[in-house]
Amino acid sequence: MTRNASGSGTEHPASADKQPPRRDAEQPERLIVRITRYQPFIDIVSDRRKIVNAALLITLVTCLIFMALLAIVLTVKRIYPYNDIQTNALGAMTIKDEDKEVTYWLFNTAELWANSGIAVKRGDVLTIRASGLSHSAIHHLQEDTENNSRLRDPWSDTEGFHASAQRDPLRARWRIIPQQKQDALLMQVIPGGIANSGTVDVRHLTAFSLTEDGAHETNDLYLIGKERTELHINQDGILHFAVNDIVLTPDIIYEMVLDNLHCIGGAEPAVDRFIREFRAQHPAGQGWNFDKSRERNFRLFEALGKEPALCALYRARNGACYNFGPYPALDGQEPCNTLSRNEMSYYNEQRYYNAWYDDNVGSFLIVVERKK
């Protein structure tokens, strides 16, 4: 717009040469944004070599931390080991750690198949160690010590001992494990249902039992002595312990009485004839059990009392064979020791199968180790 001299003005379009030139092909401006806050991280992840080095560094630091923690844990465990201690109602104490469990139990050697309360399962592998002393005849021990005489029967450790009395080679065949040392420590696994029933199962008194169908059933017995390692358990049950002596079941009494009769008879035809005929009249077989065997023994002692010649042989030679003791003095009667009435007939009458255990004295400390 221009003005004249009078001050008025008229609008005139601006001339084209006053406007800036326009470029038809002008490029648009670009906005570049730079993020610098995480630039070191971006530089690392964009470089493969740096990524590898960082991963190795992290792994190394992690391993060092793990090894330091492991060393601390092992040191603490060595100084303050973790143990879980438990006891059962029968006096066994079990100490458990991460690797194994060890059970300690004090066994009274006067008990026949004493229940330790230690439960095992089939496939368990045990290490059993035992120590202590036992004496097999407390009455002999008392008599010998009162008289200041050498002991007739020695104190025995868990390995047992070789009895030296004249009768012992004959009696050794009737021990729980025949011909093994007397008073050696034995172990048996008895099923839990039987062990916890509170009653004595006569099938587990000896190494085997006679079943109702006449078959012999072998029990799960182990000779322990001082130590048994890598002992594999064949069935579930409870550990029971006894020393190796004679259990006076009716069958054992029967065999010992006849064997003693054979010993004192020598070559006497009457003796062999009596044994042969009595065995033929009372064959062991189907249907025999504890009580039926006991009734058979009553008939045996009755039959022996009717044989005066055999009774005379017993009076003359019993001391050189099994040397059975007398029938005890009861109700004011004098002790009696005859072929038909002696300690064996008394044990049979009284069902006193553990008579030769009740006079034991001593104890064994038994240690049972089981790996987890």
CA distance 34 to 36: 6
Question: Bigger pLDDT: 202 or 92?
Answer: 92
Q: What is the DSSP string of 112-176?
A: SSEEEEEEE-TT-EEEEEEEEEEES-HHHHHHHHHTT---SS--B-TT-B---STTHHHHGGGSS
Q: What is the DSSP string of 219-255?
A: --EEE-TTEEEEEE--S-EEEEEEES-----HHHHHH
Contacts of 117 (CB under 8 A, 6+ apart): 88, 89, 90, 91, 92, 105, 238
**Tokens (6 digits) for 365:** 């400390």
CA distance 58 to 56: 5
- Residue 358 contacts residue 108 (beta carbons within 8 Å): no
CA distance 246 to 171: 8
For the stretch 283-327, pLDDT in tens is 876 567 889 999 999 999 999 999 999 999 999 999 999 999 999
- Residue 339 contacts residue 303 (beta carbons within 8 Å): no
pLDDT bucket at 38, cuts 50 / 70 / 90 = low
Instruction: Name the DSSP class of 340.
Output: S
Residue 227 has pLDDT above 70, yes or no: yes
pLDDT bucket at 144, cuts 50 / 70 / 90 = very high
Residue 132: C-alpha distances to residues 146, 168, 175, 327, 363 (Å): 24, 23, 21, 33, 6
- Kind and range of the H or E run holding 49: helix 48-79
For the segment 7-19, the average pLDDT, to the nearest whole number, is 52
Residue 363 has pLDDT above 80, yes or no: yes
Question: Bigger pLDDT: 267 or 353?
Answer: 353
Angle (CA) 266 345 112, round 5°: 105
CA distance 3 to 12: 10
Residue 20 has pLDDT above 70, yes or no: no
- Residue 36: what pLDDT? 65
**Tokens (6 digits) for 138:** 């407390």
Instruction: Name the DSSP class of 336.
Output: B
